[in-house]
Chain A
Amino acid sequence: MDLVTFGVQLLNAIQYGMVLFLVASGLTLVFGILGVINLAHGAFYMFGAYLAYWIAAYTGSFWIAMVAGVAIAFVVGLVLENVFIRRLYGRDHLVQVLLSFGLILVIDEAREILFGKDVHSVAPPAWLSGSIQLTDNLSYPVYRLAICGFCLIVAALIFFVITRTKIGMIVRAGAENREMTRVLGIKFDVVNRYVFAVGIALAALGGIVIAPISTVFPGMGDGMLILSFVVVVLGGIGSVAGAAVGALLIGLTDTFGKVFFPSVSSILIYVLMAAVLLWRPNGILGRREV
């Protein structure tokens, strides 16, 4: 493998990892703050991609699709938290698993009613649709580079909000010790609602940015859900930094696994997960005690 090919694969790995991070950070935030395990997270990723396809087809603009898709997902998140999710706080994990499974069935069928079950593709914005010529027969799509850049900005924004702002302080305190934070007078009803909506919006955003380079299909949420879970298990539950580490690890493992060990590439990330479980059962950046 020459250096250029290696560089291209490395970029692919990073780009894949960054999208994974977007989705998984939403999942880990929702678990860290709300204490709710949300199996429907992948369904929102799928729904975001379909929204992007649908809005882009109507308006002809990917950017409108992106903004509107995220906004719709955010509002849906607020409503769902209010109607269903807030009934899950402090409840058994089994109840949370099954309620979110029920939500998956509902979202899947809603998607079928609204958008059908066809496979679609979405065109990237015109000025990002070209590719950069690297060598005579190797080129790299600009859109993939744009994803890397965009996801980096979103990731920086997430880290900034969590580590540098008052909202972030509340979120961190809530993840650390919910009862104590509540006693200190933080209104968790409101925090919970917005954290859940942001989590859903991040999942949808992941689906929207991936739509132009992958196909939009009904089962796409399932694969993403599993990958997000593996990311969270690798990084440690509730840790956004852990999600970043886990996502990049999976991006690298999956991309280079497909290059070097194509026959077993589909199970490599699970081998990685098993190794991390043997080494640090609470995740690479997870706390020792749970």
Chain B
Amino acid sequence: MRGWLIPVVLLAAAIALPFVVPTYYVQFVSKAFIMGILAMALNLAVGHGGLVSLCHAAFFGLAGYVLALLSPGYDPASLLLTLPAAMLAAAAVALIIGALALRTRGVYFIMVTLAFGEMLFFLFHDTGIAGGSDGAYVNAKPEIAIAGHQLLDLASPMAFYFVVLFFLIATIAVLTMLVRSPFGHALAAARDNERRARSLGFPIYRIRLIAFVISGAIAGLAGYFAAAQFGFVAPQMLGWHLSATVLVMVLIGGLRSVTGPLIGALVLIVLEEVLKASTDYWKLIEGLIIIVIVLALPGGVRQLWPMIVGARADGPSPRQAAPPVAESRHG
């Protein structure tokens, strides 16, 4: 019974939220949801595929740039046209980078994805595409219109929130189906024991590439809405610092679940907001917190839960309740 009760309660809370809190918080939660979509997308590659990618910000930023480039001056762009275009562009680039990077393993893969991600950063930074290092504006938020009739204008924070919420739920649904499908099992098998999965006849390279491309496309979905919300795109959107920050969200949320990274995104964004408000040296504190989390909670903040609850209910063995994810990944 608890299985469906919690999601329903959370969904009801998410729907009720914009009617009870001020606009600022509606926008803040929209931003957190967008980063949650990005983190969940990344986790398809990292957690389920075992592919530690440091170039997902490039897919995210690229999709944002597609919206900026396709926006017609000061008129709103059509979401139904520009969103697929943005996701397709992200998927196409993910296909190229993935096809090359997946020829390598482990630490090589990390370095190669990082390098290709930075290549895209420099492409937008050094050349004149969409304003170079200054970035470009998205003057009007996109609208959903059919045959000239405007159905929904994303300029209203409330409408924007619900559209993002819709895509958040869609992302969770798609990722959950993927992970539970035979494809998802094959992907996990390749992560846990590549040699064995290969000898069972799974086309590892193709499976990983497909997962990487889907992951890149969903990262593009997040980037599209991020660009629409901020009304501005800059090369920093593609930079690897964002990729690493999203990896932190994934780790905080836990690698083995679909929605964990969403929680990780919420935790990290709230944390950043609190730190920024309370100290000038927030990066120092954030860095130290990241280090502590990485060393103490390799399974994410969810690991705290069995520690707290388990210690009370099942007696003293919180460590056994949650084996560190990192150690179980060798094999």
List A residues at the B interface (Cβ < 8 Å): 31, 37, 39, 84, 87, 91-95, 97-99, 101-106, 108-110, 112-113, 222, 226, 229-230, 232-233, 237, 263, 266-267, 270, 273-274, 277-278, 281-282, 290
Contact = CB atoms under 8 A, between A and B. Distances in A.
21 contacts: A87-B295, A92-B298, A92-B325, A92-B326, A94-B247, A95-B251, A97-B52, A98-B294, A102-B286, A102-B289, A106-B287, A109-B284, A113-B284, A230-B111, A230-B115, A233-B111, A233-B115, A266-B123, A267-B122, A270-B115, A270-B119
B107 A37 contact: yes
Given A105-B283, A106-B291, A31 B326 contact: no
Nearest to A27: B111
A222 to B, nearest CB: 8
Q: How large is the interface on B (under 10, 10 to 19, 20 to 34, 35 or more residues)?
A: 35 or more
A237 B291 contact: no
Given A102-B287, A104-B287, A266-B122, A93 B106 contact: yes
B303 to A, nearest CB: 14
B115 A273 contact: yes
Nearest to B107: A37
Interface of B: 46, 52, 54, 100-101, 103-108, 110-112, 114-116, 118-119, 122-123, 126-127, 240-241, 244, 247-248, 251, 255, 281, 283-284, 286-291, 294-295, 298, 325-327, 329-330
Contact of B100 (A105, A274, A282): A274
Contacts of B54: 97
Contacts of A31: 107
Contacts of A232: 111
A237 B289 CA distance: 30
Chain B interface main SS type: helix
Given A281-B108, A290-B105, A94 B52 contact: yes
Nearest to B295: A87
Contacts of B325: 92
B288 A106 contact: yes
A105 B298 contact: no
B4 to A, nearest CB: 31
A49 B57 CA distance: 28
A274 B295 CA distance: 34
B126 A39 contact: no
B244 A101 contact: yes
A94 B107 contact: no
Contacts of A87: 295
B244 A277 contact: no
B198 to A, nearest CB: 14
A266 B126 CA distance: 8
A97 B325 CA distance: 15
Contacts of B248: 98, 101
Given A226-B114, A274-B100, A84 B106 contact: no
B115 A237 contact: no
A170 B95 CA distance: 42
Given A92-B326, A113-B281, A229 B115 contact: yes
